[in-house]
Structure 1
Amino acid sequence: MSDATVVTMDKEHRLLNDGAVAVQGDAIVAVDTTAFIREHFVAGKIVDARGGLLLPGLINAHTHMGMSLLRGLAEDQSLSDWLNKYIFPAESRNVTPEFVKWSTQLSLLEMFRGGTTTVADMYYFEDTVAQTAKEAGMRGVLGETIIAFPAPDNKTLAAALQYTEQFLNHWKNDPLITPAVAPHSIYTCPEQILMDSAALARRYHAPILIHMAEAPFEIELSRHQHGQSTVQYLDRIGLLGPDVVGAHCIWVDQADIRTLASHGVGCSYNPSSNMKTAAGLMPAVDMLAANVAVGIGTDGAASNNNQDMFEEMDLAAKLQKFGHMDPTVLPAEQVVAMATITGARALHLDSEIGSLEVGKKADMIVIDTSAPHATPMYDVYAEIVYALKAEDVRTTIIGGRLVMEDRTMLTLDEKTILRKAAEYKEQIQASIKRKN
């Protein structure tokens, strides 16, 4: 990778004009000027990034890739109605391993085009999600969802725990896939399920992914049933720890934030989804100030309705500014960090990804800055957050492997994926009509 403005996101947030990155295998071996790299390394392949930005791949800290085929199915609903009246029934009628495979490919196609190189995912048939992601070249923290009622992949808790244990064994020590356990939430998992899920994860030293303090109805439920907030309840039962990633974390007060920080819990900020379902505004500024690692996530395409991290970065900043009535909060540079190195920290992977540094994985993207909406450029970070778009991503590399080059997909069959998505639309609509 050469001849670019390199946005390292290292501890100093160094910017290198006319910079380059040398890669050997799946790792970065040098980050320096183009002249230095050309003098000291012999390249088997040179990716010309001339006139563009070269930065760490974006990290989507929370989504559901298997739900992309449900995009637009139910709109303008409260979160509770959206889940219980539309999504859960549609999933029970349609979700199979084959459905999840094609839905995941559709998600990956969108993510590669938008510069996402790592994703934290929760869904059913997560072994299928992992296999699909692995074949395409995506890096992922992938959690098998455990839920109280019969799910598309497992009809009982015993079956779900057995499936999840097999999933953890299958993917342990994989260079791309980090298998995780994903108890859905406190409002779909009784206490024993939460504790059993956490125990299984910790037996295998696996991450725990969970929806946390997501909506007003959840907080009301927690206070009514447990006499505590969601965070304090999860703390009391021993679920919180430095292996946990909490999705949403909207309805948290200062005591909750201190608890999250003390346990090293990572959190994901999902502005589009939270706006659309009127779930609330995450106190991201306060959480970051308390040293809680907050990444940015799209949530699933069924509730967003896309998986565009550039859109999420833009909204992440503007919502906090509007919420605080202060244009200085959450500046662009901090938002870029949330989508890269801080997001890596939220997923507990910052020793491996999130910045362009020697020894880290070669997860990188090249962004074109020649479009009218990107010209002129005075501040790199402001350009990334407020001006650039997903379609400006030119090349996407994960672990040293090109998955998209010059906007051409290299590991996914785009035409077939889009054709299958159209076919599934007909199937899903027919299933809903039959039920009604």
Structure 2
Amino acid sequence: MTLTVLHPRWLIPVEPQGLVLQQHALVIDAERIAALLPSEQARERYPQARHIELADHALLPGLVNLHAHSAMSLLRGLADDLALMDWLNNHIWPAEGKHVSDAFVYDGTLHAMAEMLRGGTTTVNDMYFHHEAVARAAITAGMRTVVGCSILEFPTGYGQNADDYISKAIAAREAFRGEPLVGFSLAPHAPYTVSDETFSKVVTLAEQLEMGIHCHIHETEDEIAGSITQYGVRPLERLRALGVLGPGLVAAHVVHANDAEIELLARYGVHVAHNPASNLKLASGFARIHALQAAGVNVGLGTDGAASNNKLDMLGDLRLAALIAKAQSANPTALHAAAALEMATLAGARALGMAEQIGSLVAGKQADIIAINLADIGSQPLYDPISQIVYAAGREQVSHVWVAGRALLQEGELSTLNPGQLLARAHYWQARISA
């Protein structure tokens, strides 16, 4: 296979944090990064390679969306400006009960992946139903995906009870074993929708099958109050007693964590998926990101679903996360630009157990790479490319995306997905749901 050599204006490997290389090139050999070296050396050493000039671009690792419900892109804007439980109980869950199917999930996930790829996201940690449809969409799009297999106590159109959801999760994992871009996790929805018995089963299976756990935790104050009423303790303490807390757990949201709970998360090595836009839109609150990171908790970034964000825009949420962290902690130095960029890349990879494979531009890692064109008037003048990416760049400036060395976006055009076909399917589902 012909080598590909990328020549950006700025090369931002993320590891080590804050490093910016100029007049450097990155060499892609098949699905991996072969080398980072000065551009002139690359031209001399690889004269037969395909050389791509990115004269106004920053090259950086693909963004890792640590918490999403991809198929819910088809529910974007269906029920806005509502409280979480009203939104779920009276709008989202009834709509899902009527319409969610294998076809719905496949179409919605592809739609979401097109949006995410165009915005520089190369890996998504998903959570939804019809796991085989999510996996097929990932293979079609060429996007790295962890399929979170939702587990609930109550029936939906996909499962009857917790045991049914679990059996479907294991079957889907077996069906796609060996697919290089697709992994699976067990995703008990939340402490208020999952029993002690089910959590215990999930912990046992996760250990036996070496699967991660993905769960909404401490998203709202009502969730915490309900746990105290029903179980006599706050959700995190209940999960600790059940053995759920550990380095295999990605806890989504964690908006309401006190000092003792932050120390607990750090002690058990739990990873947090911060969802700033969704937290704001549903008025869930302001997660204590600076305090979590200061305690040593690994915090990644997620968009949540398009029904509660309403954009799957990691660059937009990256800026939001950095600004909120400063305001919430009353500290303008909190979550500086380089640390924020790491949160959206290497920290997400670390949370998924993939830090040896993705999340930074290092020789030997998978070639999950994006290029952002910083020539736009809104990105100039430019003094610090990392700061400009975090605080000024928009997702429309993402020009190129590679996953495992395969070009999925070139000069802003998708290579594996057809936007016209995706829009036609979105209009089909809109008509059905509106009716």
TM range (shorter): over 0.9
Question: In angstroms, what is the RMSD of aligned CA positions?
Answer: 1.2
SS in 2 for 1:52: strand
The answer on 1:119 being equivalent to 2:124 is yes
- Can you list the C-alpha shifts for 1:270-314, whole angstroms capped at 9, x where unaligned? 000000000011111011111111001100000000100111011
The answer on 1:302 being equivalent to 2:307 is yes
How far the C-alpha of 1:3 sits from its partner, in A, is 3.5
Quick check: 2:290–2:329 contact (8 Å CA) kept in 1? no
- Can you list the C-alpha shifts for 1:151-180, whole angstroms capped at 9, x where unaligned? 221123332121111122223343211111
Name structure 2 gaps, 5 residues minimum.
Answer: 1-5
The answer on 1:342 being equivalent to 2:347 is yes
Aligned equivalents of 2:304 and 2:97: distance in 1? 20
Aligned equivalents of 2:49 and 2:100: distance in 1? 43
Aligned equivalents of 1:12 and 1:143: distance in 2? 29
1:362–1:82: structure 2 CA closer, same or farther, 3 Å change rule? same
Amino acid paired to 1:162? S
How far the C-alpha of 1:355 sits from its partner, in A, is 0.3
Aligned equivalents of 1:386 and 1:166: distance in 2? 43
> For residue 277 of structure 2, what is the aligned residue in structure 1?
272
Aligned equivalents of 2:380 and 2:17: distance in 1? 26
Aligned equivalents of 1:300 and 1:170: distance in 2? 26
| 2:199 counterpart (194, 201, 224) | 194
Amino acid paired to 2:24? G
Aligned equivalents of 2:283 and 2:219: distance in 1? 10
The answer on 1:424 being equivalent to 2:429 is yes
Amino acid paired to 1:148? E
- Can you list the C-alpha shifts for 1:20-47, whole angstroms capped at 9, x where unaligned? 1111121111012211222223554333
> For residue 434 of structure 1, what is the aligned residue in structure 2?
none
SS in 1 for 2:300: strand
- Can you list the C-alpha shifts for 1:322-365, whole angstroms capped at 9, x where unaligned? 22232221111111110111121122211111100011110000
1:170–1:4: structure 2 CA closer, same or farther, 3 Å change rule? farther
Quick check: 1:271–1:316 contact (8 Å CA) kept in 2? yes
> For residue 11 of structure 1, what is the aligned residue in structure 2?
16
- Mapping for residues 106-185 of structure 1, pairs under 5 Å: 106-185=111-190
Amino acid paired to 1:187? Y
1:58–1:246: structure 2 CA closer, same or farther, 3 Å change rule? same
> For residue 381 of structure 1, what is the aligned residue in structure 2?
386
| 2:323 counterpart (315, 318, 327) | 318
Aligned equivalents of 1:373 and 1:274: distance in 2? 27
The answer on 1:36 being equivalent to 2:45 is no
Which deviates the most, 321-330 or 38-47? Answer: 38-47
> For residue 230 of structure 2, what is the aligned residue in structure 1?
225
Amino acid paired to 1:331? H
1:12–1:335: structure 2 CA closer, same or farther, 3 Å change rule? closer
TM-score (norm 1): 0.96
The answer on 1:327 being equivalent to 2:332 is yes
Quick check: 2:346–2:358 contact (8 Å CA) kept in 1? yes
> For residue 433 of structure 1, what is the aligned residue in structure 2?
none
- Can you list the C-alpha shifts for 1:356-382, whole angstroms capped at 9, x where unaligned? 001111000010011110111111221
| 2:77 counterpart (72, 89, 97) | 72
SS in 2 for 1:72: coil
Aligned equivalents of 1:43 and 1:65: distance in 2? 40
SS in 2 for 1:62: strand
Amino acid paired to 1:107? A
Quick check: 1:28–1:358 contact (8 Å CA) kept in 2? yes
SS in 1 for 2:34: strand
Amino acid paired to 2:73? S
SS in 1 for 2:256: coil
How far the C-alpha of 1:4 sits from its partner, in A, is 2.9
Quick check: 1:30–1:357 contact (8 Å CA) kept in 2? yes
- Can you list the C-alpha shifts for 1:40-88, whole angstroms capped at 9, x where unaligned? 2355433322221000001111010011000000011111111111100
Number of residue-to-residue matches in the alignment? 430
1:357–1:13: structure 2 CA closer, same or farther, 3 Å change rule? farther
Aligned equivalents of 1:12 and 1:120: distance in 2? 23
SS in 2 for 1:3: strand
Aligned equivalents of 2:425 and 2:56: distance in 1? 37
The answer on 1:400 being equivalent to 2:422 is no
Aligned equivalents of 2:131 and 2:47: distance in 1? 40
Amino acid paired to 1:219? I
TM-score (norm 2): 0.96
The answer on 1:88 being equivalent to 2:99 is no
Which deviates the most, 270-279 or 152-161? Answer: 152-161
